[in-house]
Structure 1
Amino acid sequence: MDRHPTPPPAHPSTRRRAPLLRVASALLTGALALGGCGVRLESPPPAEPSPDAIEQVRARTVDDALALADAARAAAPSADEATRTVLDDVAAFSDRHVEALGGVYDSGLPDATPTPGTAATTPAVTDVTGVLGALVDDAARAADDADDVPDGALARLVASVSVSRDALADRLAAATGAPRPDPAPAAPDVAAGTAADATADPTAAPTGEATPGDATPAARDGARALALAHDEAAWTLAVLAARAADDRRATLLAAADGHRRASDTWAATAGVVGRPTDPRRAAYALPGGLDDPTVADALPRTLEQAVADASAQAVADAPAGARADAIASLRTATVAAVAWGAAAVPFPGMPELATTPVG
């Protein structure tokens, strides 16, 4: 008799279970490996993020600057010397604008394949008349954007770019003898508002439509600083007028009167008229050497540049939709500074960006 009987054969279901378990284990291992690598076979490819209102303004201002630079360089070779000088500044200033705004946004994603028939059909500007029209239109669009954009710092920069373009348009029209065109109607995606204000009569005072109760604390601070800058300009120009010859005295007195009225308007906007918080003074310090004609001649443009700086800060301080007067003030001061002999700059009212030579 056999003392060690042969064990019975494994059950058929047990023999089938082993290979099934091995297959399941392999599938699970593969799934874990794919998960660890971040691979999701069912996930769609990444899409470009939708730009918010701030990015739309920044990108639009960059695109306009790039187009202006290209147009100015295309038109320059056939222009006369005076016109070519302005076109060179258009290109150089626009390059600076692109740089200050951060350049073209690149998400790192592949460019989308364009749909047939959807490519832009707007012809490139290559002539001086086209450059002049583009400067006017782009200045107006940037003024609208500066008034509306939620970010105050970007509003200040875009307002400066707008005023720079506006000044370039004035120079190009003067160099060519061509009339300055009116801005084209705003595109549907650009809110209407401040273009007319930013391109208005440069001698006009602020409208002062905002009331002190409507202004934010920051906006009142900006208005108060502007009232002070205008008051100092008015007082100093009056002193210069008293020391000037007759042919210059009338110009200085007219400028002083304009600044005095603007100071009163901004003081009312700030809500400081007749209050201890009114920053305006009875007198201001004068620079030394006023008997030197060079010093005396430079002082008016220095005063206007100080008003421009305060205006640009007032743009940043004011809330969105309430910056029209500050933008107009920036343009007014920039035009006046140039009239007193100041050089054209790519960033009016932003002295921190004026350290790098242009051209």
Structure 2
Amino acid sequence: MNTARAQSPTTAPRPGPRDRLRRTLALALTAMVVTGCGIRLDSPAPLALVPDADEISRQATVADVVAVQEAAEEALEGVEAGSASAVSLDQVVQFAELHIEALGGVYVSGLEESVDGTTTATLAPDSGTPLDPDAANDALELDASPTEGPEAEEEPDEPATAATVVDLLAQSSARARGSLSTPVDGRLARLYASIAVSQLESARDLAGASGTEFSVPESFTTSAPASLPGNLSTADLTTTVRSEDAAGYALEVITAKLPAEARAGTAERAAVHREHAQAWAELAGFDGTPTDPRAVAYDLGSLGGDPPLSDSAAMITGASDLEATLAVTYATFTGTVEPESRAPMLDLLADAHRSARAWGAPLVAFPGMPEQL
């Protein structure tokens, strides 16, 4: 006789851990399906994030360069082809193109605008950092002022002229100097300084070609820094003191070889280099010590000629090379020193590049940055 007893519900075996897990998953899936019915499960729009200091400064610099480029292109339409003004304006346009490329280009969000004309988020090129366009515009002061009332009419813009471009170049250069402490990345600061000096020299050249008045913005100086910049090594300071002093010595030699009527400017420049060498030596603590790297005389063999600086061509090339070397030094320092000391380095870069050009060096898009040439 079969003695097996039928199991009642009250005597059924208890579910194991695996049974309970399967039941929980099934209930969760059912809830998801039910909840999803009639409800959109789309992901929310990306949140707008704020740009960092480097991106804000980059956008501001690009905006200035674009303004210069557009004004120069417009001014070109109003001048005679092949004229000195046209050649200079065309060079401004070409340099602006190079500057924009080196800066990373004009920022484009890649997102569609919403109904109210805003975007939800943008992305900084090569940084991986989403940007808030409203915050960026506020920081860059690019937002147009609203008109007062519906009947307000915009006045038509005057066509850009060479004088307009000269002013924009000078303003852009001065703004770059004033905000040079903003970027965190020293390499970016070095690029800004080089572009600012290029714009300053472009403004000078265009003013001369077009008969427009130009004066260097008052913020620029030609003196050595008043305090010792941080982040410079003893080797940096030693090289700078010696280079400035050697430049002064070389220009004194050149002055002695020049005709009497041509000596004044060169003698003044030699004195400037000697003053810079003295100022740097005092700041570095070298002056009057055994570590002072200055010498009574310097070997000028590297400046060309046999003997050195024996003819006018060698003198011109040698003087230009000395100034160009100092320009590279100060451009490098702009990206090395602490942010508060960058502006004086830019001033010395501008001063050296201007002097190199006075000796025949060409106007370039990136003064002090030979790797960009």
Question: Into which bin does the TM-score normalised by the smaller protein fall?
Answer: 0.7 to 0.9
For 1:180, give the aligned amino acid. Answer: F
Structure 1 distance, partners of 2:215, 2:312, is: 38
**Greater CA deviation, 321-330 or 102-111?**
102-111
Displacement, 1:343?
0.7
Structure 2 distance, partners of 1:224, 1:250, is: 29
Residue number among 310, 313, 317 corresponding to 1:298 in the alignment: 317
Does the 8 Å CA contact 1:237/1:256 hold for their aligned counterparts? Answer: yes
Residue number among 258, 270, 289 corresponding to 1:256 in the alignment: 270
Are 1:325 and 2:327 matched, yes or no?
Answer: no
Structure 1 distance, partners of 2:158, 2:56, is: 22
Does the 8 Å CA contact 1:145/1:158 hold for their aligned counterparts? Answer: no
Alignment of 1:71-110 (within 5 A): 71-80=71-80, 81-106=83-108, 108-110=110-112
Displacement, 1:88?
0.9
Are 1:340 and 2:356 matched, yes or no?
Answer: no
For 1:68, give the aligned amino acid. Answer: V
Structure 1's unaligned 5+ residue stretches are 1-6, 9-19, 34-39, 184-195, 355-359
Structure 2's unaligned 5+ residue stretches are 1-6, 9-22, 119-136, 146-156
Does the 8 Å CA contact 1:222/1:318 hold for their aligned counterparts? Answer: no
Match in the other structure for 1:189: none
Does the 8 Å CA contact 1:66/1:98 hold for their aligned counterparts? Answer: yes
Inter-CA distance 251–62: structure 2 relative to 1 (3 Å threshold): same
Give the structure-1-normalised TM-score: 0.76
**Greater CA deviation, 147-156 or 50-59?**
147-156
Match in the other structure for 2:203: 169
Displacement, 1:261?
0.6
Alignment of 1:73-152 (within 5 A): 73-80=73-80, 81-106=83-108, 108-111=110-113, 114=117, 121=144, 126-152=160-186
Match in the other structure for 2:219: 197
Displacement, 1:278?
3.2
For 1:114, give the aligned amino acid. Answer: G
Displacement, 1:75?
0.8
Displacement, 1:100?
1.1
For 1:317, give the aligned amino acid. Answer: T
Match in the other structure for 1:160: 194
Q: Secondary structure at the match of 2:289?
A: coil
**Greater CA deviation, 119-128 or 338-347?**
119-128
Does the 8 Å CA contact 2:68/2:169 hold for their aligned counterparts? Answer: yes
Q: Secondary structure at the match of 2:77?
A: helix
What is the Cα-based RMSD across aligned positions, in Å? 3.5
Inter-CA distance 22–301: structure 2 relative to 1 (3 Å threshold): closer
- The count of aligned residue pairs is 314
Displacement, 1:233?
0.8
Does the 8 Å CA contact 2:200/2:216 hold for their aligned counterparts? Answer: no
Match in the other structure for 2:295: 281
Match in the other structure for 2:372: 353
Displacement, 1:140?
0.7
Displacement, 1:30?
5.3
Structure 2 distance, partners of 1:255, 1:334, is: 13
Inter-CA distance 21–340: structure 2 relative to 1 (3 Å threshold): closer
Structure 2 distance, partners of 1:315, 1:28, is: 62
Q: Secondary structure at the match of 1:92?
A: helix
Inter-CA distance 94–21: structure 2 relative to 1 (3 Å threshold): closer
Displacement, 1:87?
0.7
Match in the other structure for 1:233: 247
Displacement, 1:176?
2.0
Structure 1 distance, partners of 2:87, 2:242, is: 36
Structure 1 distance, partners of 2:191, 2:24, is: 67
Match in the other structure for 1:209: 226
Does the 8 Å CA contact 2:162/2:212 hold for their aligned counterparts? Answer: no
Task: Output one character per residue of 1:160-200: Cα deviation in whole Å (capped at 9) or x when no partner.
Answer: 111111111111222222222786xxxxxxxxxxxx432x4
Does the 8 Å CA contact 1:54/1:151 hold for their aligned counterparts? Answer: yes
Displacement, 1:300?
1.1
